[in-house]
Structure 1
Amino acid sequence: MNRPFITAAFSLALPAMAHHGWSEYDSSKTLTLTGKVIASGYEHPHGHVRLEADGKTWTAVLAPPSRMENRGLAPDAIKPGSTVTVVGYPNREKPTEMRAERITAGGKTIELR
């Protein structure tokens, strides 16, 4: 095999190797948080919201932007100042992080997985 081919094949595989699994989240425990969004990101590989809920600042890892858009969650629905409800699983190591399974924003509930 030639070197350019190997280099190209390896570089295409990097994004797949870099993507994490979900084992860092405890799917045996469900969290439901309602709070005010203080920051949000609608970027790859996953969107996120930081919200104030239960006296803490939480980070909720969302779905990829394309999935959120396809399911009807516009970026402005999770802008700072919005109130959202997020249902998901807590991170095993980070006590204020969760993986969101669904989000309710602007009166609309979106399944993220």
Structure 2
Amino acid sequence: MLLQRRQVLAVASVLPLVPLAAHAHHGWSSFDADRPIYLEGTVRKVRWQNPHAELELELPANLALPPNLAQRALPAQTAPVDGKALLARAVLPTRKDRKWEIELAPLTRMQAWQVAEIKPGTAISLLGFTLREEKGDAVLRAEYLFVDGKVYGLRSSPA
């Protein structure tokens, strides 16, 4: 009886944490892969955990597409994604939110790419996809991460 009570208490102590870990996870099918979105800004919050790393990004008031975006070099391993075509088709979001939730790759993939843990205050840019028709929360699922002069293809592995 005492063992059962301990088990119940252990489960009950973990249950409040479950919604926090699962609230922001979206499957790829929720995102509009036909409309690549470009974002850049300053990282304000970081959750470096599975199922994937997440950031809160604050955009500048004057967000604009870089004139050389389509010419950026991309990792060869990401060729099946046709990143060059994505960069050429990139647009800014239609919504005007200044804070965005960014979904990166699982930590194992981030480690394989040797992405150092991103800290608050870091300037980054991204190419990715928003929820269909930009409905709901301001969320971007990152396809490419540009940080510290490097680019990472987050749907592929570096090997």
Indicate the residue corresponding to 1:3 in structure 2.
none
TM-score (norm 2): 0.55
The one-character-per-residue Cα deviations of 1:27-54 (angstroms, maximum 9, x if unpaired) are: 1111111100001111000111111115
- Note if 1:28 corresponds to 2:34: yes
What fraction of aligned residue pairs are identical, expressed as a percent? 36
Q: Which has the larger radius of gyration?
A: 2
Coordinate RMSD, CA, aligned: 1.7
Indicate the residue corresponding to 2:153 in structure 1.
111
Unaligned runs of 5+ in 1: 1-17
The structural deviation recorded for 1:21 is 2.7
Query: Number of residues paired by the alignment?
Result: 94
Unaligned runs of 5+ in 2: 1-21, 62-97
Indicate the residue corresponding to 1:10 in structure 2.
none
Indicate the residue corresponding to 1:102 in structure 2.
144
Amino acid at match of 2:111: E
TM-score (norm 1): 0.76
DSSP-derived class of the 1:43 partner = coil
**1:59·1:98 contact (CA, 8 Å) conserved in 2?**
yes
**1:33·1:54 contact (CA, 8 Å) conserved in 2?**
no
Structure with greater helix percent = 2
